[in-house]
Amino acid sequence: MKPFLIIFLLSLTLQATKIKDISSIVGVRDNQVIGYSLVVGLKKTGDGTTSKFTLQSIANMLKAMNIDMNPVDIKSKNVAAVVVTAKIGAFARQGDKIDVTVSSIGDAQSLQGGTLLMAPLKGVDGKIYALAQGPISIGGKNERGAGADSHPTVGIVYSGGIMEKEINIDLYHQQYATLSLKESNFENAVAVQRAINLNFHTQIAVALDPRTIELKRPSNLSMIEFLSEIENMDMDYKPENKIIINERTGTIIAGVDIEIKPVIITQGDITIKIQESDDVNAPAGSMKVDNDLVIGLNENEVYTKRGTTTVANIVRSLQKLGASPKAIISILEAMKSAGSISADLEVI
């Protein structure tokens, strides 16, 4: 089946947006933790005897309960060894509950119906920040007991992790804070600096580079009040011109104002000649798409009014010519390689 092509047109002109939508506060972030444990209660879908680390883990657990058992004597298939991962949000406090993800590392067939035994979750510093335990959810069950998402060896224990140690971030007593833009851009960094300084009527924001803005807290505000006001402040934001292509689905996302320089492209049986003129007239045998775009069907030529040669228009004309999504994507990639398109092209 021919893949379906969708064109999303995004306006990339200056637009008002809140500072919190395009930046983050340095030091205020999530943290990853990881642990190892066992899942029990499986219906003969656990690790087999070839997973020696599972058998050793069972023996170690039983030994901690004063039951001395040789690993080679353990034949249970109702247990699976798993890695437990979780994300701890900024300012999580002791006693807070978090979701944890459980992933099999042995040859278990399914974790459906299993219960995670207590797993200490450690950070990169080796310290324990949370403990996880509880029944595993696979997200549904099919006839064979596997997960509905076709990943029966991965599950989630909702609210199964309990915070034991806090990650302290002392913002209240800080005099300075730093904003980091999600995308490097000199114009946007200066715009953030200008918006903050105009709002407070003083030079408290300094753009150190195209991504970093240093802030100095006013004496009449706490750091929490200051950052709250900063994050909800409006500014003029200009997104980066970018073309995003999903080759698997044939989807193209492009801005309406991404221009294409005159170029001649041949792809398969389609030859495209893009040329600009001040007045667009429809030659004999051609098709006029709109007031700014004409397609010469005899030679597959595309004529555009000067200043209107954009990715959006060219893709529209290629569709009219019957080009497949795959051919359109190949043409755009060739235009980028030839220097006809200056915007970044990202293939996902």
The number of CA neighbours under 13 Å toward the Cβ of 299 is 10
Which residue reads 């298939």 in tokens? 77
Q: What is the distance between the alpha carbons of residues 303 and 309, in angstroms, rounded to a whole number?
A: 9
Domains and CATH numbers, the chain: 14-27+170-237 (3.30.1360), 31-163 (no CATH), 242-347 (no CATH)
Which residue reads 């020696």 in tokens? 52
Question: Alpha carbon of 128 to those of 125, 161, 207, 336: distances in Å?
Answer: 9, 12, 38, 49
How does pLDDT run along the chain (348 residues), one tens digit per residue? 444 444 444 444 556 789 999 999 998 889 999 999 999 999 888 888 777 888 888 888 888 888 887 777 677 788 999 999 999 998 999 999 999 999 999 888 999 999 999 999 999 999 999 999 999 998 754 444 444 455 589 999 999 999 999 888 888 889 999 999 998 889 899 999 999 999 999 999 999 999 999 999 999 999 999 999 999 998 887 777 777 777 777 777 776 667 777 777 776 666 666 665 555 555 544 555 555 555 554 555 555 555 557 777 777 777 776 777 777 778 788 777 777 777 777 777
The number of CA neighbours under 13 Å toward the Cβ of 12 is 18
Q: What is the distance between the alpha carbons of residues 74 and 105, in angstroms, rounded to a whole number?
A: 18
pLDDT value of position 269: 65
Question: Alpha carbon of 188 to those of 110, 213, 238, 240, 345: distances in Å?
Answer: 49, 10, 7, 10, 21
Q: What is the distance between the alpha carbons of residues 193 and 202, in angstroms, rounded to a whole number?
A: 11
Residues 6+ apart with CB under 8 A from 264: 271, 272, 273, 274
